[in-house]
Chains A and B, each alone.
Chain A
């Protein structure tokens, strides 16, 4: 925001307001919690969180380490980007992997090819216990799904890491309550009030770098139930599958086995913003509806696994 804009308007633009609220939330975590961590995947929402943390705490170091739960089934581009970003910021990155939990026996797969997305929560809880974290900062948003619409910004989890919707604290004004007993913890969601469009507009404004798979690229995919299933070593084409080379991009990134791209030619943040805005305003055709449905359920799986 320029000084000029400040002189013209007595109030903040919507992005400035959202940014300021998120900084306020991050600083409340730092002020109230003894040992927090920030969940960082290398995905777009957590990259936005890192920029907000810079705004909240520079010139100091972050008052928390970055924590990533690696399923071992992530796109290399995203993992490389995760390491690069942590290094650029000179912040501590802790990686704990689902594969270690499998070796310990705390995660048991039903089949070798099973999605490890939902098993992340076991590894996350183990990491919380190992380091004694009393708060984990995450990038979940209320607009992601209907059931999330009433999630608190400071969400209470019991000593088993469980979210009990009947046992959530009332949240009034900006007076957050992060108090916990030993073993319990708080999940704090600084970008609760952001929408997908806000996130992309902020990425554009702040000129944030993202892993390449967020932008349109050619990829071999198979159409399955309206979803585009990428053809990878983990998810090879089966006999009878029709493999197509399509221009696609990912709207969210996560475990390879359950993250589907959407068809798109948007190769820049500006064009993604255009697509995101248009998605909400155009007349909807049947084909797009299926895309949207699968998109929503994919987000849902991600949430169940991670938060």
Chain B
């Protein structure tokens, strides 16, 4: 299938996924292979890679060179560098979040995982399940990525041995069960030779499942899998009464994005946290009226009643409201280079809302290699901990496990304005 033939065809939307692993696992080669075999590498890039490969005495083009520039930058001391890459098959557009895999890069992986709907966890077939594999799996689980693909790579280096694949699969499943990871798909591959990435190759006849690209093409989109509650954080209020157009004199549009669920004209709604009620009079975008809006759609809502709504409020269905609270229990990942100081106030941003927050308690810090709970008074960069916050203003929220949009927050240090923490509400 060539991209050009399928361009006007079915649009299966967009999938964001994450690759976890280190260079040693062949991650760069895997990404390079995906881009190369789906013809997403432009000629100039390929040409430059071919020249570099030739200079290094390689016969074939080294696909890992595609991500090489970033390794060089890492050596120069850039500590946060999630790289985003793009390809399309004509049926679907993909955004790859590529994060370095080493222990000190927890915050990179957390960042990359926050927007991903699928994670590819790479295992070197010669090494099996490592501490790093457990760490990646835990973080993917913590960040609520619904689909995990365990790619057992470098099968070419173990003679494509089916027994080795099965042994690693068993090992992983045992460990995944302890974490409660449900949806795991396994796939044997050789990124180097391209086996089971886009093409099946000739070496893995014993494997009857889909190729990696087939898995990606058929993975469900972010909001297509379950019936979700309608959540609409208000970003901006549109009041164009000064435009001189008398029709717009009373226009009050509440602008935002449907974070989950859907809304239909006529729906009974509640504005949080004030709990005022109204009905949806119209759903608009750029002068066009819509009968309904679905998850991830940015629209403008008009309400039947003249009620006070401002940025930071959240519109929900009357019968499916959200939690409104001034105390949150969270799993917090510390991202700042300066340690968390439990005596200080921080700013929390959740959806379009902000509040000052104080730390009530740090219940424990999690050792992400052993998953042991450790006592903690301060948190350093890359630490993950169970933290309870008291809030100056109420937040309108859901548990992160139920809603990745309304259950997530960032912590901002107001002296530097830096983003220093990322949290998931329990």
Contacts and interface: CB of A to CB of B under 8 A. Distances in A.
A56 B7 contact: no
Contacts of A180: 417
Interface string A3-20: 100100111111111111
A193 interface: yes
Contacts of B352: 28, 31
A139 B78 CA distance: 25
Interface centre among A12, A18, A197 (most CB of B within 10 A): A12
B28 interface: no
Interface string B4-22: 1001000101100000000
Contacts of B221: 10-11
B287 A27 contact: no
Contacts of A146: 45, 69-70
Interface centre among A170, A174, A179 (most CB of B within 10 A): A170
A28 B410 CA distance: 15
Interface string B264-307: 00000000000000000000011100111011111000000000
Interface in A127-185: 142-143, 146-147, 149-150, 165-166, 168-175, 177, 179-181
Given A147-B69, A171-B419, A193 B84 contact: yes
A165 B335 CA distance: 16
B235 A59 contact: no
Nearest to A192: B84
Interface string A44-88: 000000000011111111010000000000000000000000000
Interface centre among A6, A19, A23, A295 (most CB of B within 10 A): A23
Interface string B186-224: 000000000000000000000000000000000001111
B57 interface: no
Given A6-B292, A59-B248, A59-B251, A193 B95 contact: yes
Contacts of B414: 179
B318 interface: no
A15 B114 CA distance: 21
B85 interface: yes
Contacts of A143: 85-86
A296 B41 CA distance: 13
Interface stretch (B145-153, B167-175, B238-246): B238-246
Contacts of A232: none
B379 interface: no
B250 interface: no
A192 B48 CA distance: 24
Contacts of A281: 2-4, 39
A164 to B, nearest CB: 10
Nearest to B48: A293
B329 interface: no
A172 to B, nearest CB: 4
B141 interface: no
A20 B298 contact: yes
A95 interface: no
B340 interface: no
Given A165-B78, A277-B7, A289-B47, A173 B40 contact: no
Given A13-B11, A173-B114, A281-B39, A24 B257 contact: yes
B296 A20 contact: yes
Contact of A181 (B77, B114, B417): B417
Given A10-B223, A150-B83, A177-B410, A274 B4 contact: yes
Interface residues of B, number: 83
A175 B409 contact: yes
Contact of B298 (A56, A165, A170, A195): A56
A3 B291 contact: yes
Interface in B342-386: 349-350, 352
Contact of A10 (B286, B294, B349): B294
A195 B87 CA distance: 9
A168 B4 contact: no
Contact of B408 (A20, A150, A173): A173
A279 to B, nearest CB: 7
Nearest to A278: B4
Given A3-B291, A280-B3, A175 B349 contact: yes
A240 to B, nearest CB: 28
A170 B4 contact: no
A172 B410 contact: yes
Contact of A59 (B11, B44, B287, B419): B287
A55 B412 contact: no
Contacts of B156: none
A170 B243 contact: no
A292 interface: yes
Contacts of B290: 3
A177 B419 contact: yes
Contacts of B404: 173
A11 B417 contact: no
Interface centre among A6, A10, A11, A54 (most CB of B within 10 A): A11
Contacts of A253: none
B142 to A, nearest CB: 13
Given A13-B13, A175-B410, A280 B42 contact: yes
Contacts of B295: 11
Contacts of B7: 273, 277
Contacts of A19: 298
Contact of B297 (A16, A31, A169, A192): A16
A266 interface: no
A60 B349 contact: no
5 contacts: A56-B298, A60-B240, A177-B418, A193-B95, A292-B43
Interface of B: 2-4, 7, 11, 13-14, 39-48, 69-70, 73, 77-86, 88, 92-93, 95, 107, 110-111, 114-115, 221-224, 235-236, 238-240, 243, 245, 248, 251, 253, 255-257, 285-287, 290-292, 294-298, 311, 335, 349-350, 352, 404-405, 408-410, 412, 414, 417-419, 422
Interface of A: 3, 6, 9-21, 23-24, 27-28, 30-31, 54-61, 63, 142-143, 146-147, 149-150, 165-166, 168-175, 177, 179-181, 192-193, 195, 197-198, 273-274, 277-281, 284, 288-289, 292-293, 295-296
